[in-house]
Chain A
């Protein structure tokens, strides 16, 4: 990271120093939005994609039965005209009439039934099982009604149906299969595919037969071009010379310099992702088995100072293991303000007066925040060994109980419900539950299988209070994302870390 950071600084310095000519922004003139991503777009079969970038493009090619309005938190009909819960495990959807696929075929109830049964089948292997493994079956009741049956009551059904369960064309899928959908997809979405080269880029064009109704009904910009530019500096160069109109995930340190360029503006938007440090108290002979040690770690870390220095003030400090905008995120929990004296006192009480050794695994570079945490802990007598590893090696070490702490972040798939956040994932006796607290497990498990939202809220509240009280993790902050774009572009990142290019506009 140091290496990259140095490169970034050098490059930006030079860019500012030398690039004096006024950039010519061409996107608006040709009604083409040129955007760049660092990650490769692996497949356009959204059920097989794992990168956020591919999933974002998927939401332009396909529609789901419903969608979520992030301003009101409501679910809005999309391919379904309306829906009704007939029981805790059944939803009936009235399918919208007059919807066309990009190849001109009309959408029917058969397409919906086919897609839902296909992707939830045992042989399909959807990349994220959580999106589909709750579906028992879908049946056609009449020409435009589909009944969806769940295996058991699943409170996140609508969240999943909104964006995570795109509807495919039965006839087309049967012809081309998943491999065909990966490179030449047909959907009902507001944009259709013009061209895709795996790993290189995607070109989409507005679908003029797109139906009215739903949130994407009014796509403005005619052509969307996504390119894969792995180097951040190349993205900056292309943005400054006008070949790009939009880039995202701009690090804090680069913002002032980009902002100072004519024709470029930087926007900041809060997103669902949170950062935290997990603790593994069950590793044999771990000092973390002692609650006082876990609390001492919480007291010893100066979150505000570290945040200001490394990620910026736009990130919001959190005290609970969730993002406060999510349903069920209890914020009235035990908090641990920075207090190194208290930390030392607790360590002394726990018998670690002379200090102790701990390890922390980081799925990525250790420079920055992890180093600062190490320094904080050193000042109270905890010697932290940082193990910076590639993601796959890091999770392997963590899940097999070889590390005391883990520095990580989680985006909840952009879903505004704590059921998919760390609390729902890592305290429910699953493969990533390193705590396995018998008091917490039943609470989370119950909240995951009932529909009664008030009851769920109460259960999560109790669980989150317990997690904070027992100091099982160090909640750090909720993220915020910087995007840099041409001044004449109007485009905002949604809180779910998805980008609605169908809402983009030229000013």
Chain B
């Protein structure tokens, strides 16, 4: 188990470094970072000054290594846009995003897993059909549209929930529903198919023959086996929620890491973008790794692979 973990961690570090260098280069490929930073009311002279001030005219690899050496010393740098330490900025934004992502995932799991179990136990039943309908709608409906519908109903018409911001727990209700509903279908469908194939296997027949209760058969035997891909998917979904909830964050004006990344890219705030990319890839790698470890714990066969 230990050597498995070490191997995974080493791979993860290399992957993170690779991603961060690509991200660094992409900012330069996307246009003149000095002009982006100077803003759209700037002159060529303003951009030139910033280019020299921040050393954008040096080779990209030199700039990257300079940044990397800072990171290795624990210094994420100062945001070129906000003129504030990147670390402080990130901590604030990630707290919000992590909270939202966590609520969203919990909501998705709470709905998706039981529905998936029931749908898998009684395929093609009424419940299964309804669950399918719910999944298709959830997958097909753009999240901004769903978000606006909720906003119109709950905050404009009924005035019971705030339309935007993060001032109270109520502010998180609608974003959680939107985010949760978006990741629910995949988890549910996966649970369903996992349950169907698990329920067809020999050990379930044996379990039933032993006279175990239906609940034990479903949750202890079938779901435990069906759970492996669900865990992998959920952790990937969580990673996605931390990085990719830009639309939801933007509609509900929740200033999280996703929207910070989006904005920072367009204004070429390199230290912020880099720190975010680093965090995103670390999270992604971390959660995938945790999922692998969990799977390895649940399924001893995987440890030897």
Q: Which residues of A contact B220 (CB under 8 A)?
A: none
**Cβ contact within 8 Å between A395 and B32:** yes
Pick from A43, A127, A229, A237: contact of B156, CB under 8 Å: A237
Q: Report which of B33, B41, B48, B89 forms a contact with A198, defined as CB distance below 8 A.
A: B89
Q: Which of A231, A241, A411 contacts B41 (CB 8 A)?
A: A411
- Count class of interface residues, chain B: 35 or more
Interface locus among A177-185, A246-254, A294-302: A177-185
**Interface extent on A, as a size class?**
35 or more
**Pair B255/A237 contact, Cβ less than 8 Å:** no
**A50, B83: Cβ atoms closer than 8 Å:** no
When the two chains form their complex, are residues B255 and A127 in contact, meaning their CB atoms are under 8 A apart?
A: no
Residues on the A chain within 8 Å of B278, using CB? none
B165 sits at the interface (CB 8 A): yes
The answer on a CB contact under 8 Å between B152 and A128 is no
B232 on the A face (CB < 8 A): no
Q: Are A231 and B32 in contact (CB under 8 A)?
A: no
Tell me the residues in window 42-65 of chain A with beta carbons closer than 8 Å to chain B beta carbons.
Answer: 42-43, 45, 48, 50-52
Chain A interface, DSSP helix/strand/loop, else mixed = mixed
- Closest CB in chain B relative to A156 CB, distance in Å: 14
Residues of A within 8 A of B106 (CB): none
Does B149 count as interface, using CB distance less than 8 angstroms? yes
B88 to chain A, nearest CB (A): 9
Q: Which chain B positions have C-beta within 8 A of A425?
A: 43
Closest to B44 in A: A431
Q: Assess the A390–B36 pair: CB atoms within 8 A.
A: yes
- Across-interface contacts of B47 in A (CB, < 8 A): 395, 431
Could you say which residues of chain B place their CB within 8 Å of the CB of A394?
A: 31
A51, B255: Cα distance in complex, Å: 18
- Least Cβ distance of B233 to chain A in Å? 29
Inter-chain contact A183/B30, CB cutoff 8 Å: no
Could you tell me if A128 and B31 are in contact, using CB atoms closer than 8 angstroms?
no
A residues less than 8 Å from B81 (CB atoms): 42-43
Residue of A21, A179, A197, A431 near B43 (CB, 8 A) is: A431
Known interface pairs A129-B45, A431-B45; A228-B255 also in contact (CB < 8 Å): yes
In the complex, whether A413 has a CB less than 8 A from a CB of chain B is yes
- B155 A237 Cβ-Cβ under 8 A: yes
What residues on B are CB-neighbors of A197 within 8 Å?
Answer: 92
Report A-chain residues with C-beta under 8 Å of the C-beta of B268.
392
Question: CB distance A392 to B253 under 8 Å?
Answer: no
Closest residue of B by beta carbon distance from A240? B156
**Binary contact readout A367-397 vs B (1 if CB under 8 angstroms, 0 otherwise):** 0000000000000000000000111111110
Question: What is the CB-to-nearest-CB distance from A41 to chain B, in angstroms, rounded to a whole number?
Answer: 9
- Which one of A15, A199, A410, A431 contacts B152 once the chains associate, using CB atoms below 8 Å? A15
Q: How far is the CB of B77 from chain A (nearest CB, A)?
A: 13
Name the A residues within 8 Å of B45 (CB-CB). Answer: 129, 430-431
User: Which residues of A have CB within 8 Å of B164?
Assistant: 227, 229, 234, 237-238
Contacting pair A127 B155 (CB below 8 A): no
Show 28 residue pairs from A and B whose CB-CB distance is below 8 angstroms, ordered by the A residue. Answer: A10-B148, A15-B152, A18-B156, A21-B159, A48-B83, A51-B39, A52-B41, A125-B49, A127-B38, A128-B46, A129-B45, A130-B46, A182-B83, A229-B164, A229-B253, A231-B144, A231-B251, A234-B151, A234-B163, A241-B163, A243-B162, A392-B36, A395-B35, A399-B44, A431-B43, A431-B45, A432-B43, A432-B44
| B residues neighboring A (CB under 8 Å) | 30-33, 35-36, 38-50, 53, 78, 81-84, 89, 92, 144-145, 148-149, 151-153, 155-157, 159, 162-165, 250-253, 255, 259-260, 263, 266, 268
Task: List the 8 shortest-distance A-B pairs measured between CB atoms, nearest first.
Answer: A431-B44, A393-B31, A392-B36, A392-B31, A50-B39, A396-B32, A229-B253, A392-B35
